[in-house]
Amino acid sequence: MWQGRFAQQTARLVQQFGESVSFDWRLFEHDIAGSIAHARAQLSAGLLTADEFAAIQSGLRGIESDIKAGRFEFSAALEDVHMNIEAELTKRIGPAGAKLHAARSRNDQVATDTRLYCRTSIDSLDQAVRALQNALLDQAATHAATPLPGYTHLQRGQPVTVGHHLLAYVEMLDRDRSRLTDCRARLNVCPLGSGALAGSTILLDREAIAAELGFDAITRNSMDAIADRDYLAELLFVVSLCGVHLSRLSEDLVLWCSAEFGYVTLSDAHTTGSSLMPQKKNPDVCELTRGKTGRLLGNLLAVLTTLKGLPLTYNRDLQEDKEPLFDSLDTLTLALAVNTEMIAAMQINADRCRTAAADPMLLATDLADHLVRKGVPFRDAHELVGKAVAAAVNSATPLDQLDLATIDPAFGPDAAAVFSLDRALAARSNPGAPAPDNVRAEIQRRR
Ligand code: ARG
């Protein structure tokens, strides 16, 4: 498509090194939508006859259905998806096809296609995150009142409910969805008409093109429009952070399904065995989710690194944006789907959770609060309960069976009532705290 000024053919290795059609073929639907919108603007500007436009449109639709049906053969010699489609169009409809590229460049074409690809992907990711939220909500609803130790430093801290713990992830996923929405709004701007870098002397109606493609606005600077991949880096960040959230959930589940914790049993369908140790049942989905998050972070860093040294405007380095993008979107999409299934199918072992949470040490803070209600300053109460804890540890007596009066009369005979776990949970009733009624109300609100 540029052979005019060249006396030699492109070297075979250069073709092999530079082709992108092996991966950017995935942009084909957006490329075709963009070309049809562009051709319609050419028609309005009097550059095409109605017949030529009709031939272009139906030619492109024919190519689209051939690609979808797997009947289209992409050629690496034609480098990328844009040239493959344009060359095929001209082959099919003749000279009208050769008119299509007036007033545009592959530079504004690829920028448009990639934005549309990201936009579509954001919409399906949002659905996938929502499905995972629903799976978590269902489990939280079943276990709204199931007590669970809450941890800091992976040491037992205070009692929470399983429902409250799971709803923490629902919150993180909410923020992921709101970041997807923000990212979508910023990227939904049409660069078509920016040409190679400096627009065109042929003036097409950019607003009409943008409207046809569902963009909210047009880009305001042709050079920025060609060079900009902010939207892509931003999406890769949003995807990475969502991956980090899934990875933390995975880490909780890896612990919870171990014999040491035993809080959950993952389904046979979502675990794997060992080829050597017959008894093994491994949480590979969780480990792979955690492991693949490394790829998401790597892809984000790859794109930022590609961008950081580029002078305006287009540089071929930018072609390196697509594989990380596709890989991250594919990886997160699959991770969300498999985690949704696994969470829905996992069994939460309420007895194990309750037994672990029944450790009276978890209510040491409640015991201090009990003293505070009697007028003891919190620092003094903390000290007194600390002494009680030390006495319990040293005498190997459970904290709730210690004679607290021997530590300090301030504890009073009613201190024993502190050690009711269900009461302790119900008492945590301020907004945002883990009381079962709060968890139920939260689930209700979300549903
Ligand atoms: N395949 C190229 C890419 O993905 C399309 C743009 C090519 N533009 C160019 N001036 N060589 O970046």
DSSP for 41-107, please give it: HHHHTTSS-HHHHHHHHHHHHHHHHHHHTT-----GGG-SHHHHHHHHHHHHHTHHHHHTTTT--HH
What's the mean pLDDT in 147-157? Answer: 98
Task: Give CA torsion, residues 386, 391, 393, 399, to 10 deg.
Answer: -80
Q: Which of 15, 105, 107 to mutate to test the pocket of ligand 1 (most atoms within 8 A of CB)?
A: 107
> Rounded to the nearest whole angstrom, what is the distance from the C-alpha of residue 248 to the centroid of ligand 1?
38
CA of 319 to the centre of ligand 1 (A): 6
Distance 55 CA to ligand 1 centre (A): 26
Q: Tell me: the pLDDT tens digits for 340-390?
A: 999 999 999 999 999 999 999 999 999 999 999 999 999 999 999 999 999
Cα-trace Rg, the chain: 30
The pick from 15, 19, 80, 86 for probing ligand 1's pocket by mutation, whose C-beta has the most ligand atoms within 8 angstroms, reads 80
Q: What is the pLDDT of residue 129?
A: 98
Q: Is the CB of 232 under 6 A from ligand 1?
A: no
With a 6 Å cutoff on the Cβ, whether 117 touches ligand 1 is no
Q: Is the distance from the beta carbon of residue 318 to the nearest atom of ligand 1 less than 6 Å?
A: yes
Q: Is the pLDDT assigned to residue 3 strictly greater than 90? A: no
Instruction: State the average pLDDT over residues 124-151.
Output: 98
Q: For residue 106, give the ligand 1 atom closest to its CA.
A: 6
pLDDT digits (tens, 9 = 90+) for 172-185: 999 999 999 999 99
Distance between Cα 16 and ligand 1 center (Å): 15
pLDDT confidence of residue 2? 79
Residue 110: CB within 6 Å of ligand 1? yes
pLDDT digits (tens, 9 = 90+) for 230-255: 999 999 999 999 999 999 999 999 99
Q: What is the residue-averaged pLDDT of the chain?
A: 97
Is the Cβ–Cβ distance between 316 and 269 less than 8 Å? no
Residue 320's Cβ-count burial label (10 Å; 0-12, 13-18, 19+) is: middle
Whether residue 115 has pLDDT greater than 90: yes
Phi and psi dihedrals of 145, rounded to 5?
-110, 5
Write out the DSSP string of 5-56: G-SSPPPHHHHHHH--HHHHGGGHHHHHHHHHHHHHHHHHTTSS-HHHHHHH
**Ligand 1 centroid, distance to 208 Cα (angstroms):** 25
- pLDDT band at residue 187 under the 50/70/90 scheme: very high
106 lines ligand 1 (CB under 6 A): yes
**Can you give the pLDDT at residue 236?**
99
> Could you tell me which residues come within 8 angstroms of residue 271 by beta carbon, excluding any fewer than 6 positions away?
281, 282, 283, 284, 285
Q: Between β-strands 147-152 and 155-161, what pairing exists: parallel, antiparallel or unpaired?
A: antiparallel
Average pLDDT of span 282-309:
98
> Catalytic residue numbers?
153, 274
Token code pair at residue 50:
């109605």
Confidence of residue 33 (pLDDT cuts 50, 70, 90): very high
pLDDT band at 122 (very low <50, low <70, confident <90, very high): very high
229 C-alpha to ligand 1 centroid (Å): 13
Q: How far is CA 105 from the centre of its chain?
A: 32
- Cβ–ligand 1 distance for 319 under 6 Å, the answer yes
Asked if 147 contacts 359 with a C-beta cutoff of 8 angstroms, the reply is: no
Return the ligand 1 atom nearest residue 79 CA: 1
For residue 311, the 8-state DSSP code is P
Q: How far apart are CA 325 and CA 233, in angstroms?
A: 9
- % residues pLDDT > 70 (the chain): 100
DSSP 8-class letter at 161? E
Does ligand 1 have an atom closer than 6 angstroms to the CB of 20?
A: yes
How close is the Cα of 110 to the center of ligand 1, in Å? 7
Report the atom number in ligand 1 closest to the C-alpha of 80: 1
CA atoms within 13 A on the CB side of 385: 23
Residue to mutate, 14, 316, 323, 325, ligand 1, most ligand atoms under 8 Å from C-beta: 316
107 within ligand 1 shell (Cβ under 6 A)? yes
Report how far ligand 1's centroid is from the alpha carbon of 86 (Å). Answer: 14
Rounded to whole angstroms, the Cα distance separating 75 from 53 reads 26
H-assigned helices in 309-420: 322-345, 350-357, 364-373, 378-394
Model confidence pLDDT, tens digit, residues 53-95 = 999 999 999 999 999 999 999 999 999 999 999 999 999 999 9
Tokens of 410: 């301030």
Going by alpha carbons, the residue nearest to atom 4 of ligand 1 is: 319
Query: Please, which residues have CB within 8 angstroms of residue 427's CB and are 6 or more apart in sequence?
Result: 366, 435
Q: What is the pTM of this model?
A: 0.96
Residue nearest to atom 7 of ligand 1 (CA): 106
Given this model, what pLDDT does residue 1 score? 76
The verdict on the CB of residue 80 being under 6 Å from ligand 1 is: yes
